[in-house]
Structure 1
Amino acid sequence: MDIQNNRPSILNAAAIFFATNRQNTLNYYSKLGFSCNESFGFVQLDGLEFIVHETGNLDNIRPNYPTHGPEALDLFCMVQGVEELYDRFTSRGASIRFELRISEYGMKEFAIQDPDGYSIGFGESLID
């Protein structure tokens, strides 16, 4: 609880991705430099955190792409140093969903895709 205002506050949020093989997915993110908690499936890199759960039901795996179109992502992160992050991920074997580009809305961005098809975009604003 926020003691100064005596009201509850949200401290963090984490999306949940369902995986066909949780260990395989955690290994993928680990090789990209994410911290992965093997026991609970938490995946974290700087301010990005999400949870990976294993499921035997393939219907539970529902990435936004391609169902919602070619630009659909499951997470989007604002970053500093997008080019360096892109280089880090590509040098570690990331599956690139779309290459580093400049968007029509003033972002330099790219996206990775995990073994179950979930996409995470990373972008840096080019507008002051």
Structure 2
Amino acid sequence: MLVSVTPFFIVDDLTATLDFYQSKLGFSVPYKGGGDEDVDDYWDFVRRDNVMLMFKAIAANVHPQPNSSRHPFARWDAYIYTDNPDALYTEFVAKKVPIHRELGNTSDNLRAFEIKDNNGYVLCFGRPLDREF
């Protein structure tokens, strides 16, 4: 049985990314690593409820490449299922999270909204329209 998946995103500034995910999206940081006494950490996992994401700063010349920068049909970098997108949307708006696409019923048959993080990655939060919370 598969239990979870943790998408892995390349970032330029790990500290700024962790700050965004903690202060704006309500994630915590359960795992950090890669560094030693003389080197800062260069990868981290963030978690909220059952969702985890991994971020890694690779090198100065390796930058984030969100899917949407490759092709307009690849809008999302991650889809995150939530039972109650309306409540989550209200929470994020109150925290001034950059909303990429407003909450609504989509042509993909979802009740969803999209945010864009500080690296340009687009996260869609939603649920199928035929599922009530």
TM-score w.r.t. the length of structure 2 is 0.79
> What is the one-letter code of the residue matched to 1:62?
Q
What fraction of aligned residue pairs are identical, expressed as a percent? 24
TM-score w.r.t. the length of structure 1 is 0.82
In structure 2, which of residues 16, 22, 33 is the aligned counterpart of residue 24 of structure 1? 16
SS at match of 2:67: coil
Provide closer, same or farther for how the CA distance between residues 83 and 107 of structure 1 changes in structure 2, counting only shifts above 3 A.
same
Aligned ranges 1:55-66 → 2 under 5 Å: 55-66=58-69
Report the counterpart of residue 39 of structure 2 in structure 1: none
Provide closer, same or farther for how the CA distance between residues 99 and 71 of structure 1 changes in structure 2, counting only shifts above 3 A.
farther
Q: Point out where structure 1 has 5 or more consecutive residues left out of the alignment.
A: 1-8
Report the counterpart of residue 105 of structure 2 in structure 1: 102
Instruction: Say if 2:26 is the partner of 1:33.
Output: yes
> What is the one-letter code of the residue matched to 1:98?
R
SS at match of 1:25: helix
In structure 1, which of residues 43, 47, 50 is the aligned counterpart of residue 46 of structure 2? 43
Q: Matches of 1:109 and 1:58 in 2, distance apart?
A: 34
Provide closer, same or farther for how the CA distance between residues 112 and 58 of structure 1 changes in structure 2, counting only shifts above 3 A.
farther
> What is the one-letter code of the residue matched to 2:92?
F
Aligned ranges 1:62-101 → 2 under 5 Å: 62-69=65-72, 72-101=75-104
Report the counterpart of residue 38 of structure 2 in structure 1: none
Root mean square deviation, CA, Å: 1.9
Q: Matches of 2:4 and 2:127 in 1, distance apart?
A: 22
Between the two proteins, the alignment pairs up a number of residues equal to: 120
- 1:58 Cα offset (Å): 4.5
Q: Point out where structure 2 has 5 or more consecutive residues left out of the alignment.
A: 34-43
Aligned ranges 1:108-127 → 2 under 5 Å: 108-127=111-130
